[in-house]
Structure 1
Amino acid sequence: MTLKKLLAAFLFIISFNICFSQEVVIKNDKVLLDGKQILKAEKINVAQYSFFTMKNDDEILMYRYMDNETPVYQDDDYFILNFLSEKTKVESKDFTKIANFMNSRKGMEKLIKWLLKERVITAEGDLNPDRVQVFKDKYDENITERTLR
């Protein structure tokens, strides 16, 4: 009897996660959340993406990958999230949140999911200024300022 209860609880938890998970897709320069467009995306190159609002086409977020001028040595690589409308920059070496082997579009989809989960971006595609600051406090490693050049 306990096995049946355990199995039922497990299936309930899995179905809960499946029903309430948000699907983010970038397709044709559109960021879609559960099929509804919330942002516009522009791939500048493999290492840089920009995201724009739907309302007034303002650039609100720019992602940039930095190899720290050492393309062969990858231990010093990091990424920059520049929240332009909030004048806030976040630099981090933690690629686990966005890494996707050789597919920058999938990596950007993971980035948007992460920002939605942290409530930095709302379901309507707006930046939440309070959550941008919390996000910076949690994840910013301030790499540029502590790097000798």
Structure 2
Amino acid sequence: MMTKKLLLFSLLVLSFNFYFTQEVEIKDDKVLLDGKQILKAEKINMVEYSFYNLKSDDEILLYRQMDNETARYQDDDYYVLNFLTEKVKVESNDFYKIASFMNSKKSMEKLIKWLLKEKVLTNDGELNPDRLAIFKEKYDQNITERTIR
């Protein structure tokens, strides 16, 4: 009897998780959240993406992957999230948050989901400066400052 209740509870929790999951898709240079456009996206190359605000057309986020000047050694690679309008940079080598095997578009979709989950981006594609400050405190590893050149 207890197993049935536990199974029923687990299914209920799982169904709520699927119900409240937001769908993020990048299609035709548009960032769509549950089918509604919230940002413009521009793929610069395999390791750089720019995201633009819909209202002002300002570039609000530049994603750039850095190889730390060691092209063949990948263990020291990191990425920079440059929130241009807020003048905030976040550097991290935690690719697990955004990695999608050899598919930069899927990686950027995971990045947007992460920013939405952390409430750095609102559902309307606006930056939340208060949440951005918390995000920087949580995830910035300040790699450039720690790297000897």
- Which TM-score band (shorter chain)? over 0.9
> 1:1-149 alignment to 2 at 5 Å?
1-149=1-149
CA distance in 1, matches of 2:65, 2:91: 10
Normalised by the length of structure 1, the TM-score is 0.99
Matched length: 149
CA distance in 1, matches of 2:123, 2:64: 23
CA distance in 2, matches of 1:75, 1:18: 34
Runs of 4+ that moved beyond 6 A: none
In the TM superposition, what whole-angstrom CA distance separates every residue of 1:23-55 from its partner, at most 9, and x where no partner exists?
100000000001110000000000000000110
CA distance in 1, matches of 2:78, 2:3: 46
Alpha-carbon shift at residue 147 of structure 1 (Å): 0.7
In the TM superposition, what whole-angstrom CA distance separates every residue of 1:43-76 from its partner, at most 9, and x where no partner exists?
0000000000110111000000000111110111
CA distance in 1, matches of 2:73, 2:3: 51
CA distance in 2, matches of 1:25, 1:18: 16
Give the letter for the 2:10 counterpart.
F
CA distance in 2, matches of 1:128, 1:113: 15
The unaligned stretches of length 5 or more in structure 2 are none
CA distance in 2, matches of 1:132, 1:15: 30
Give the letter for the 1:82 counterpart.
N
In the TM superposition, what whole-angstrom CA distance separates every residue of 1:74-104 from its partner, at most 9, and x where no partner exists?
1110000000010000000100000111100
CA distance in 2, matches of 1:42, 1:23: 19
Normalised by the length of structure 2, the TM-score is 0.99
CA distance in 2, matches of 1:141, 1:134: 13
Secondary structure of 1:99's counterpart equals: coil
The unaligned stretches of length 5 or more in structure 1 are none
Q: CA RMSD in A?
A: 0.6
